[in-house]
Every structure is written in C-alpha cells, then in structure tokens.
Amino acid sequence: MADKDIPKGGEFLLIPGEPAQCFTVEDLTDEHRMIKQTAYDFVRGEILPRMEELEKQNAELVRKLMAQAGELGLLGTDVPEEFGGLGLDKISTAVVTEAFGIAGAFAVVQGAHTGIGTLPIVYYGNNEQRAKYLPDLAAGTKIAAYGLTESGAGSDAVGGCRTKAVLSEDGKHYILNGEKIFITNGGWADVFVVFAKIDGEQFSAFIVERGFPGFSSGAEEKKMGIKGSSTTPLIFEDCQVPVENLLYEPGKGHHIALNVLNIGRYKLGAATVGSCKAVLDMAAKYAAERVQFGRPIIEFGAIREKLARMCCKAYMNESLNYRTVGLIDAALEGMDPNDPSYPDKASQTIREYNIECSISKVFGSEALDYIVDENVQIHGGYGFVGEYEAERCYRDSRINRIYEGTNEINRLLIPGELLKRAMKGKLALMPAAQKLQGEIMDYMPALVELPDEPLAYQAHMIEMCKKAVLFVAGVAAQKFMQKLAQEQEILLRVADMVIETFAMESGFLRARKALASQGEDKARIHLNLVAAYVDETIPRLHQIANEALAMCAEGDELRMLLIGLRKLLKYQPQNGIALRRAIADVVSDKGGYPLE
C-alpha cells in the first residue's frame, strides 16, 4: 500500500472499506507461510504432547522448550538482526503468535516473553542495553517478564504506582522499594522490565536482573487457568539497579507502558485467532465422534448451528486481526530500524492504531470465550471434567478479558480516542456527524439501489452501521458535552457498535477479496460466513443504539432520533438458519475450521 492509501487509525468509520487496503490471511507471502508452518510444527510436535507435564508448572521443561523455540527463531521476529533476532515484519510475529495461541499456558509464557517482556528493550533500549539483553532473549536462553501491576495499581497502573526509585548517594544505582503483583513469568524470568516512580514522582522503567541485590519473586498464585504459567509478585527491598539500567528517560515510563500494551493487545488478538480455530476443530471432531440417539451429534441442528456460529466468530476474529496487523505493517514500511529515532517513530505509528489494537483484544478475547463455552456445551458432561481438553481451554481463556487492559478499559478507550482525535481535528468525525444529522430525515432506505453482486446488501448495511455510530456518538456528544466521559454505559455501547462494525467490515473485505480471486463457488464459504454474521449482528447493534439514544433524549426528541436510527439500520432479515446450515456442512466436511 502506498502511504496515502493507508487508512489512519479509526478512519474506517469515515471511509468505505477497500479490499486492497485490507490485509487478509490469504495474502500471506510464501515466507510468512513458511514461518507459520514452522511455528505450528513446533507447537504441535514439541508443546502439545507435553501439555500434561507443562500444566504442573515444570520450569525446567519450559526453559528447554523456550530455548528450542529460540533456536528456531520463534522468539526473535521482532528483535533486530544485529541483536540476535530476525527483524521481521509484524505479520510474521502475528503468524508465530497465532500458532502459539493453541499452546495453552505456554502461549502465555511465550507471549509475555516476546511481547511485554522483550519489546520495551527493542523499542526503548539504548544500543548497550539492546546488545546486552536482546540476544539471550531472542535465543530463549533467558526469559523476560514485565512488572507494571501493583495491589493498588491495576487498571490505574500509572496513577496508582507506589514502587519508588531513589538515586543512591554515589549516583551509581537506583534503589527500588515496593512490590509488583500478578507478574507473568515472575518465578522463572531472568530479566524484568519494572516500573517505578523516581522520588515517588517520575514514572519510569528499569531493567532488573534476577540476582540484583534486594530483588526476589514471591509465591506462585493459584490460578483458575493457564496453570502451566508462572504468576508471582516481585519484591523490591532496597533493590540496587545500576543507573545504566534505566530504560528510556526518567519520567517517560508511561510512553513505554502504554505503547507496549498496544502491541500486547494486537498480539493477544493474534493468539486468540489460533485458539478460536483450534477449539472449533476440537468441537467438530468430538461432535462427529459422539453418538447419541443412534447418530453422531454433529447431525443435530442444535449442534450444527453452534458450530456455524463458532465458525463465524473465528472467521471475523481472524479477519480483523490480520487487517489490524496489516495496517500497522503498512504504516511501518520503509522505516529504518537503524535510525536512532526509529523506536519513537515505530511506537508512535503503532499508537496511531490503538483503537484497532483494542478492538483486536476485545473481540478476540470474547470470541474465544464464546467458542470455548460452546465447546464445553458440545462436549456435554465430558466438557466439565478435567480429563478432556475442553475444560482446560474454558479455564485458560478467561484471563484474556482481564489482562492487557481489562475489556472495560479497552472498550472505553475506543470512543475516548475517537473523540480525542475528533477534537484535535485528526479525524473529521464531527463534520460527518453533523452532515448526517442534516441528511437523515430525507434519507429513504426503500429507494437505495444496490449493485447486483454477492454481499451488496451486507456492504450497504455495514456502511449504514458506520453512519449509526456517528449518529449515536454525535447525539451523545451534543447532549453530554464535556461530561460524556462520565456516561460510561453510553460509551460502552458506542464501543460495541464500533467493534462490531470493524469486525463485519473486515470479514466482508476478506470475502470480497476471496470472491475476486477464487470466484463465487469457491468463495461461497466466505460469503456465507459474512452474510450469517451480519444477519445476527445488525439487529443487535440496533438494540444497543436504541438504548444509548434513550439515555440522550426523551419524548418527541427521542422519537425523532429513533426514527432516524431506524432508517439507517432498517434491515431485511436474511435466511440466517439456512446460511448457518450451509456453514455447518462445510465445518463438518472439513472436520473443523474450513479455511487456512
């Protein structure tokens, strides 16, 4: 994509989606496919057969497997070549992350290590720090962790931080005191990126090594899921951190914390792409084998409909995640990693897509929760007992809605960022919302003429959803003005509309590409998945939008608003049941997720 063609973050709400601007999994290059295959082979060959042992928190085995992964290059896609990594694009990281996504707790170990553990040093380390730490981290001979959360600093990680750093009298060390909690890889890691306030004021990041005097990790948490990962407190008692281990600049820790979390969010989304598909495969396999009333349960409509819905979620999740990573990659293209300002520029660029990153995190974690839940249901009583994988997957999935920013915080970020950009004039949302309010009364849905091509109606409805987002957000902004930030229930509804619109459009653009490259027959599964998902989603969005408007007005004013909204989201139901039957046929034939 040329620079001018790359949509800005959040801009998808204002412009019609273009298939050429949407990266899809079908666009992976041969090199991406090779990396993906290597990662899946490693996970299937080395990790999955050892899941039982790994669930017992076998640190030695984890270390061995991490070193093996490092040897294959699977920990170094984001690390520059000169520091022992492969220095590849973000799509390469996404395909590796997708593959590790099927590895239960090991995915969390690998994800925290390569993401929040390593990336602060990649992006914010100076060359000495990068040369000292990155080669071992890329090789997997050392494990990384990220210490931000404290007992009083969870969602409010920066404001609530109490860990304090004070420069020693001789000026050689920062002396850290405080405690971090819930730190992934806490019990095993060798290198920790830790946040503390210098003199209790300047929020800053430090690289701490296990072995520094005054550092220790506490007892393992007893968790609901991801039991094979380590989660412990980190304790700093007059811990001596050499001054050269200050990461980036004093008082600029929030740049690191927030930007790295953005990356963590789309990486979490990518991991759920793998797990959504793998759990659907598990469900389809079990349903084909389990016989009741003399028939495999996969022959029952109730089960087929579940499989079809799971497949729709997995497809949208895959589509929107690769679209997001594709946008980031396109925006990063051409930047020179050796340019001293690269880290700042790159993290600024990734920040541009923080709305899309939050969407990836929220949609991915909730799609997976839906899929693991239905998988338990398809397994019946066997889904509830420990010897089947369905139970572990159900437990493991739950954490995704909590870390990397809870889904509430990520949802709130979406309208918050949109409004911020609108105020700064970076996104022309206000003029678009005002124009829409002027046009809406004259708009006649019955007169809209659509081209005679597959998904034309869905494409039209997705554009209408964008208008509905502008309409509702515009009305809410006018009504509450500066106080809108306090109206969280309305903001959450706007966020849901934004998330689902992005999801539907991502699936749609992918299906359009498949249609163009494969023809209607071969692209049929794409077309059905999109049509079925849109069919269920539009009425739900309409209801959400009604609720938001009802908080903004009453009486005649509300009636007029609801009439306007009805015009935008007037929807002719498709035969959703038939579409889902057709999808289930393909899932059943393929024994799981029907696409690559």
Ligand X SMILES: Cc1cc2nc3c(=O)[nH]c(=O)nc-3n(C[C@H](O)[C@H](O)[C@H](O)COP(=O)(O)OP(=O)(O)OC[C@H]3O[C@@H](n4cnc5c(N)ncnc54)[C@H](O)[C@@H]3O)c2cc1C
Q: Which residues bind ligand X (CB under 6 A)?
A: 112, 146-149, 154-155, 182-184, 223, 231, 399, 402-403, 406, 408-409, 488
CB of 221 to ligand X, least distance (A): 7
Name which of 80, 72, 119, 130 is nearest 96 in CA terms.
72
Q: Where are the beta strands (DSSP E) in 168-212?
A: 173-184, 191-198, 202-209
404 among known catalytic residues: yes
Element (H, E) at 423: helix 407-423
What is the nearest approach in angstroms of ligand X to the Cβ of residue 112?
A: 5
Q: Looking at beta carbons only, is 359 or 436 nearer to ligand X?
A: 359
Lookup result for tokens 């071992």: 136
CB nearer to ligand X: pick between 157 and 355:
157
Structure tokens belonging to residue 129: 């720090």
Closest separation in Å from C-beta 409 to ligand X = 5
Reading the block at residue 246, the tokens are 């200050």
Tokens standing for residue 596: 């690559």
* Least Cβ distance, residue 150 to ligand X (angstroms): 8
Are the C-beta atoms of 429 and 14 separated by less than 8 Å?
yes
Cα-trace Rg, the chain: 24
Q: How far is the CB of 267 from ligand X (least distance, A)?
A: 13
Instruction: Answer whether 159's CB lies under 8 Å from 129's CB.
Output: no
Q: Which phi and psi (to 5°) does residue 175 adopt? A: -105, 115
Alpha-carbon distance of 323 to 25, in angstroms, equals 9
From CA 157, how far away is CA 405, in angstroms rounded? 10
Complex with ligand X: residue 375 or 400, whichever CB lies closer = 400
β-strand partners of 236:
178, 215
Rounded Cα distance, 8 and 4, in Å: 9
Name the maximum alpha-carbon separation found in the chain. 80
Q: Which residue is nearest to ligand X (CB)?
A: 154
Per-position b or e across 40-49, b if 16+ CB within 10 A of its CB:
bebbeebbee
Of 69 and 409, which CB lies nearer to ligand X in the complex structure?
409
DSSP secondary structure letter of residue 153: B
Cα distances (angstroms) measured from residue 264 to each of 325, 354, 400, 552: 12, 11, 11, 35
Catalytic one among 150, 318, 374, 404?
A: 404
We find the least distance from the C-beta atom of residue 234 to ligand X, in angstroms, to be 9
Q: Residue 563 CB, nearest distance to ligand X (Å)? A: 32
Which is closer to ligand X, CB of 406 or CB of 574?
Answer: 406
Nearer to ligand X, 155 or 517 (CB): 155
Nearer to ligand X, 54 or 582 (CB): 54
Q: Which residues are catalytic?
A: 404
